[in-house]
Structure 1
Amino acid sequence: MKNILAGPQLNLVVPQPEDFDEISEWYTEGSFLRNLDTAPARPLSGEELEQTYRNLDRQTEFYFHIRTQADDRLIGFVTLYNIEWTNQIAQLAIAIGDPADRGHGYGTEALNLMLNYGFNELNLYKVCLDVIATNHAAISVYQNSGFEFEGTNKLAVKRDGERYDLYSMGLFAEDFQPRIKLV
């Protein structure tokens, strides 16, 4: 039987308590925070992050940490959340923490692992996400993985006195074509 949470380079794993202190360091980097969410940038302690994880609604959120297979290094997290079981729809969020780990295909692999999990294990019909228009790298990864633009919330995000669009993107299960070799 396949390990649906393992790819060629990465594993999606259960978060460990010691992970959250490392993730807390990512939350001190401005571009990480400002691309992750539209909320005001705010550093969070490892304890706060762990408490947030412990308070997840296990019925509507599936949260994993992303680790490299080669050296079991924590590089990010991915989650399907706000799952509406009756409609078979979920929201997705993903982050690669250290800027040195970006641009190596890890985001694409982790995204495809999570999409495969969502569509083939959770039986979702559609996965949606929001992305700030300035996050060109993420938009490229999403488009390359099959997501399509579904709408624009014009000038919804304010950063450094400027306003930017917030894009809504979606992918249907029937359109999912893995961009990685699923092992």
Structure 2
Amino acid sequence: MKNIFNGPRVYLSVPQPEDFDEISDWYADGDFVRKMDTSIARPLSGEDLERTYRNLDRDTEIYLHVRTIAEDRLIGFVTLYNIEWQNQLAQLALAIGDPDDRGQGYGTEALNLMLNYGFNELNLFKVCLDVIATNQAAIAVYQNSGFEFEGTNRLAVKRDGHRIDLHHMALFAENFQPRINLK
């Protein structure tokens, strides 16, 4: 039987307590935080992040870490949240922490592992996400994985005195075509 959490170069894992100190380094990078989320950028300690993880609603959120297979190195996280089981819907968030690990295909692989899990294990019908319009790298990854634009919350995000659109994107289970070799 195949391991649905393993891809060719990364795997999805349960967070370990020692992971959160490393993730807190990512949150000290204002560019990382400002591209990932629409809320204010602020550093978070490992303790803050671990406390947040411990307090997740396990019925409506699945949060996993992304690790490289070769070095067993933490490189990101991916989550399905606001899961509406009755409607078979979920929101998705994905982040690759270190800038040197971005643009290497790790995000695409982690995204496709989580989508495969969501559609084929959790029986989701649709996965949605929000992405800031200036985050072109993320938009390209999402489009490459089959996500389509569903709408735009115009001028919803304020960054450096400028207003930026927030795009809503979605992928239906019937349109999911894995972009990686699922083992």
Q: TM-score range by the shorter chain?
A: over 0.9
Corresponding position of 2:122: 122
Task: Give the TM-score of the pair, scaled to structure 1.
Answer: 1.00
Please tell me the residue identity of whatever aligns with 1:148: E
Name stretches of at least 5 consecutive residues in structure 1 with no aligned partner.
none
Alignment of 1:142-157 (within 5 A): 142-157=142-157
Corresponding position of 1:52: 52
Q: For 2:81, what is the secondary structure of its paired residue? A: strand
Deviation at 1:172, TM superposition (A): 0.1
Corresponding position of 2:160: 160
Corresponding position of 2:26: 26
**Aligned mates of 2:113, 2:97 — CA distance in 1:** 18
Name stretches of at least 5 consecutive residues in structure 2 with no aligned partner.
none
Q: State the Cα deviation string for residues 112-154 of structure 1 (Å, max 9, x = none).
A: 0000000000000000000000000000000000000000000
**Aligned mates of 1:31, 1:109 — CA distance in 2:** 22
Corresponding position of 1:91: 91
Task: Give the TM-score of the pair, scaled to structure 2.
Answer: 1.00
**Aligned mates of 1:53, 1:2 — CA distance in 2:** 28
What is the Cα-based RMSD across aligned positions, in Å?
0.3
Q: Where do 4+ consecutive residues of structure 1 move more than 4 Å? A: none
Alignment of 1:5-20 (within 5 A): 5-20=5-20
Give the length in aligned residue pairs: 183
Alignment of 1:32-43 (within 5 A): 32-43=32-43
Corresponding position of 2:62: 62
